Amino acid sequence: MADIKKIDKIVGVKGMNDILPSDAPMWELFENTVQTVLKSYGFQQIRTPIVEPTALFARGLGEVTDIVEKEMYSFTDSMNGDALTLRPECTASIVRAAIEHNLTYDGPKRLWYSGPMFRHERPQRGRYRQFHQIGAEALGFTGPDIDAELIMLCLRLWDDLGLTDVKLQLNSIGDAAERSQHRIDLIAYFEQHQDLLDTDAQRRLHSNPLRILDTKNPAMQEMVDAAPKLLDYLGAESRAHFDGVQKILNHNNVPFTINPRLVRGMDYYNRTVFEWVTDQLGSQGTICGGGRYDPLIETFGGKPTPACGFAMGVERVLELMKANGEQHQPNQCDVYLVHQGEAAQLQAFVLSERLRNAGLDVVLHCAASNAGGGFKAQMKKADTSGAAFAVILGEDEIAANTATIKHLRDGDGQQSTVAFDAVPDFLVDEIVGASGGDEHVHDAHCHH
């Protein structure tokens, strides 16, 4: 047999991170909270592929955007020559799916999604090459009410996650004709101050001047602050829509700041745009951004359909949760099953399945290559598992057809001897009692 050469150590792709078991509880807490909130507003989940035709994003996001120009992971399918791209965002995918499957034929739809997105950027805190987004898209709603609802949905989520330092910035970028007039004046203004424009701004001057307003360059701030403001160009309809959003938010005591420089990086937005920002994450202060994108569905060949949505960066929200003191400790199970001897091991399997049938999470001790299987070593494992109880089966217990149950978290480590068949009911009562009736126990399964 040929020698099997030891391959060099392989590490992950830069900026694409592993989510380890120690991180998972925080992710689960966040995802479960988001799912609960979205469901409470009537949003239904949609899942789209990670890979889409490159043209979808080039057309949807705009050829002259940083994402399309510099950040997309695009490639040619070697099997058939198709131009494909790993999705850098999900709105374009949702719109493609809505048109392809005629999702709005029977009326408007509230949709939400979650999953990984890909952009070839310089990795930094809260900004990675594979990052995760959760977003909502409301398709087919015309009025300012849906814009306000999406904003209030976000507010409820921050509240449920215990995030306090998150502030809402709001703006309107009007409709195409209003932006067009503003753009002409904006270019003329920037041309008068060409000596102050940095390389990025020079490049965008005639292709995407709105993005210059979003500059982070301190040397340009004063000049940009004095640039023509899009809000001054709004016509009656755009103004009424923007006033409508503010009226609902004010009536519901939702605090916000109007930021006339707030724009979105994608070409498809119109009217309401908003961002949720924090000063706890350094330069990556935006944790959620959204707005209205009425023209997009028609741009993709669908029937004219108004739409509004948002996307939040999961990694950034998790960073903020940690900064706010959220420490979701890993808790593997409710019960850790300790056993000594062959007969006890066989009965431990029987008991662990019965406990799971009763709705409990159970870790059954199994032999490990790097740890002793003695009673003391097993009890140490039980303690570090986060379990509330250790259930012990040894020779004495097998002889008496009982189990010893030890409190690991409270009750000063007290132990009880319980008949083998009564263990599931005993533990369910203990766990429900300890949680004050707020049952953790899952729905029991009916295995016989």
Contacts of residue 161, defined as CB under 8 A and 6 or more positions apart, other chains included, come to 30, 33, 317, 321, 326
321-338 per-position pLDDT tens digit: 888 877 666 667 889 999
Is residue 199 in a domain?
no
Are 160 and 284 within one domain?
Answer: yes
Looking at residue 137, its pLDDT comes to 97
Is residue 159 in a domain?
yes
Highest-scoring range by mean pLDDT, 21-25, 273-277, 421-425: 273-277
Looking at residue 41, its pLDDT comes to 96
Looking at residue 217, its pLDDT comes to 84
Which comes out higher in pLDDT, residue 368 or 288? 288
Are 127 and 78 within one domain?
Answer: yes
Q: Is a pLDDT exceeding 50 seen at residue 444?
A: no
Are 356 and 424 within one domain?
Answer: yes
Looking at residue 179, its pLDDT comes to 85
- Averaged pLDDT for residues 66-72: 72
46-60 per-position pLDDT tens digit: 999 999 999 888 876
Is residue 183 in a domain?
no
Residue by residue, what is the 3-state secondary structure of 265-298?
Answer: CCCCCEEEEEEEECCCCCCCCEEEEEEECCCHHH
Q: Is a pLDDT exceeding 50 seen at residue 446?
A: no
Which comes out higher in pLDDT, residue 303 or 443? 303
Residue where a domain terminates, one of 323, 352, 373: 323
- Averaged pLDDT for residues 8-24: 86
Is residue 345 in a domain?
yes
Residues 250, 243: Cα–Cα separation, whole Å: 10
Looking at residue 69, its pLDDT comes to 66
Are 55 and 145 within one domain?
Answer: yes
Residue 408's domain comprises 335-434
What would the two tokens of residue 292 be? 């209205």
Residues 308, 109: Cα–Cα separation, whole Å: 11
Are 364 and 402 within one domain?
Answer: yes
Contacts of residue 280, defined as CB under 8 A and 6 or more positions apart, other chains included, come to 165, 320, 323, 324
Q: 308-324 burial by CB neighbour count: b if 16+ within 10 A, else e? A: bbbbbbbbbbbbbbeee
Region for residue 109 given its phi and psi (left: phi exceeds 0; alpha: psi -120 to 50; beta: otherwise): beta
Is residue 212 in a domain?
no
pLDDT class for 445, splitting at 50, 70, 90? Answer: very low
Run of H or E residues at 32 = helix 24-40
210-237 per-position pLDDT tens digit: 778 878 888 888 888 888 888 899 999 9
Read out DSSP for 170-198? EEE---HHHHHHHHHHHHHHHHHTGGG--
- Averaged pLDDT for residues 342-350: 90
Residues 312, 286: Cα–Cα separation, whole Å: 9
Is residue 201 in a domain?
no
Are 299 and 367 within one domain?
Answer: no
Are 71 and 128 within one domain?
Answer: yes
Residue where a domain terminates, one of 294, 323, 352: 323
Read out DSSP for 80-115? T--EEEE-S-SHHHHHHHHHHTTTTTTS-EEEEEEE
Residues 213, 215: Cα–Cα separation, whole Å: 6
Is residue 209 in a domain?
no
Residue where a domain terminates, one of 323, 344, 363: 323
Q: Is a pLDDT exceeding 90 seen at residue 409?
A: no
pLDDT class for 447, splitting at 50, 70, 90? Answer: very low
CA separation (Å) from 355 to 159, 245, 394? 35, 52, 18
Are 282 and 411 within one domain?
Answer: no
Q: Is a pLDDT exceeding 80 seen at residue 434?
A: no
Domain with residue 65: its CATH number is: 3.30.930.10
In a 13 Å sphere around the CA of 355, the CA atoms on its Cβ side amount to 27
Neighbour tally for 129: CB within 10 Å: 19
Run of H or E residues at 299 = helix 296-299
Are 137 and 53 within one domain?
Answer: yes
Is residue 113 in a domain?
yes
CA 126 to chain centre: 12
Contacts of residue 255, defined as CB under 8 A and 6 or more positions apart, other chains included, come to 167, 168
Neighbour tally for 222: CB within 10 Å: 9
Are 395 and 367 within one domain?
Answer: yes
